[in-house]
Structure 1
Amino acid sequence: MSKTSEQAGVPSVSTVPLQGQVAGPVVPPRVAARRRRPGVIALSLALIAAGGAGVAVLMLQVGHRTQVVTVVRDVPVGQVLTQRDLGTASLALDPAVKAVRAEDLDAMVGQRAAVGLKPGSLLAPSQVTRESLVKAGEQLVPIGLKPEQVPATALVAGQRVQLVHVDAPGATGTSAGSGAAPDAPPKTITGRVVKASAAAPGTGMVVVDVATSTAEGPTAAAWVAAGALRLVLDAPGGS
């Protein structure tokens, strides 16, 4: 055989597949170490401490409850408070809320409601008074108002009003026999609302207790009896 033939039958070393070779270990890439900044660490610790302190303060505030006086029944303005009108409750009370403390409940009994009190509400010191709503030198005149005579503005205790004398139903000529000329200004009496009832079922009639001076009380009562009185609200502040 020729050398050419022998060479043709011998496989090339480069064409023999590599067997049994094992890959070497993979070397992970080197990661540069992060530098720790003392300032950042200190700030993080301070924020964590502040957050913990804030949670602690909040928990203390939520856990601090105050015993306060509550209203358990409807109490109209001017009525004397009794033990049955009041109760107590334990609340986490905001310092801005002015409420009567439970230890002062006995002192509230016997005082008068300066405003209408509703059940479920807290009792505030400004809502009670030891003074009578009808003061010395005053008289209380009850005035019945038909639905069309009741102001749309709610009547509340303390409002200033004018009691105006008008012609009685069926009257002619002068103002209900008062002797005044027909074009003369009507007579008026200054008063103050002490209490206003709710509208009566069926009729819608509202009864308003008005405090007037002792000298003018009988006159106002006579006007009411004659059906010759109308109630007018004064502007706030009397302006």
Structure 2
Amino acid sequence: MSKTKERTGAATANSVPPQGGVAGPVAPPRVSARRRRPGVIALSLALIAAGGAGVAVLLLQVSNRTQVVTVVRDVQVGQVLTEQDLGKASMALDPAVRVVRADDLESVVGKRAAVELKPGSLLSPSQVTKDALVKSGEQLVPIGLKPEQVPATALIPGQKVQLVHVPGQGTGDTGQAGKPSGSPQETIAGRVVKASPAAPGTGVVVVDVATAATDGPTAAAWMSAGTLRLVLDAPDGS
């Protein structure tokens, strides 16, 4: 054997056997695109829009807040208001709600409470008055009403009433409803100043009624004799 063949055979024996053909370029891994559901996208957009609307509403409410006067202590009917009775608060209000604005606080200090004021409530212009609840030339008569004599309509300060004299039985010749025959019913015009809550146990309500000074003693006498009844006037005072 020739040397050339020996070298060729040795080279063949020492070479690495082929790997089944020539390898081509390696392709990158194939990534499948995730399908996006239209419903999820719509929900996401709706949530984003709702969040933006909520922020807008909050900002609008903050910008529209109003400084108002509040009541911080119990104030009885007729009591003169002081700065210690009042406070301030910032809140969003409906335009239909009538309140005293914080800038007008000084204008209500020194006025009287026309109704009983409770802590935590807003102060409205109708709840204060510059007039004394019992005016010059008037007297205050307390009227005690039994449960069956208390009107179902709430008694509020300023409400006009009539104090009616209803004579008892055995006081003379009487007609219908205890009224003496041929004589007009005696009445006294009055105005509610305050009405107390019903007393525990008895249910009696005491109503402070302002009358003319000349009528006060008569009304008190009727009350003492148990012949007085309280009648509400029409809302317009007629």
TM-score bucket of the superposed structures, by smaller chain: 0.5 to 0.7
In the alignment, residue 119 of structure 2 is paired with which amino acid?
P
Listed as ranges, the gaps of 5+ residues in structure 2 are 1-51
What's the offset of the Cα at 1:58?
7.8
* Counterpart-to-counterpart distance in 1, 2:225 and 2:65: 58
For the residues of structure 2 that align with 1:167 and 1:94, how far apart are their CA atoms? 52
Could you tell me how far apart the structure 1 residues matched to 2:99 and 2:149 are?
A: 37
Give, as a single letter, the amino acid of the residue that structure 2 aligns with 1:173.
Answer: G
Closer, same or farther in 2 for the Cα pair 1:234/1:95, shift >3 Å? closer
Distance 1:162 1:121 in 2: 32
> CA offsets per residue over residues 175-207 of structure 1, 9 Å max, x none?
7xxxx8445332111111111111111111111
Alignment CA distance shift 1:201-1:96 (3 Å): same
1:204 corresponds in structure 2 to 203
> May I ask how many residue pairs the two structures share in their alignment?
182
TM-score normalised by length of structure 2: 0.66
Structure 1 distance, partners of 2:66, 2:118, is 21
Output the amino acid matched with 1:119: P
Indicate how the Cα distance of structure 1 residues 237 and 143 shifts in structure 2: closer, same or farther if over 3 A, else same: same
Q: Residues 126 and 222 from structure 1, CA distance in 2 versus in 1: closer, same or farther, beyond 3 angstroms?
A: same
Distance in 1 (CA, whole Å) between partners of 2:153 and 2:94 is 32
- 1:157 is aligned to 157
Alpha-carbon distance in 1 for matches of 2:180, 2:95 = 61
- The answer for unaligned runs of 5 or more in structure 1 is 1-51
**Is residue 2:195 matched to residue 1:191?**
no
Q: 1:171 to 1:79 in 2, by over 3 A?
A: farther
What is the alpha-carbon distance in structure 2 between the residues aligned to residue 154 and residue 217 of structure 1? 23
TM-score by length of 1: 0.66
Output the aligned Cα RMSD.
2.7
Contact 1:145 1:205 in 2 (8 A): yes
Q: Indicate the SS of the match to 1:219.
A: helix
Q: Secondary structure at the match of 2:164?
A: strand
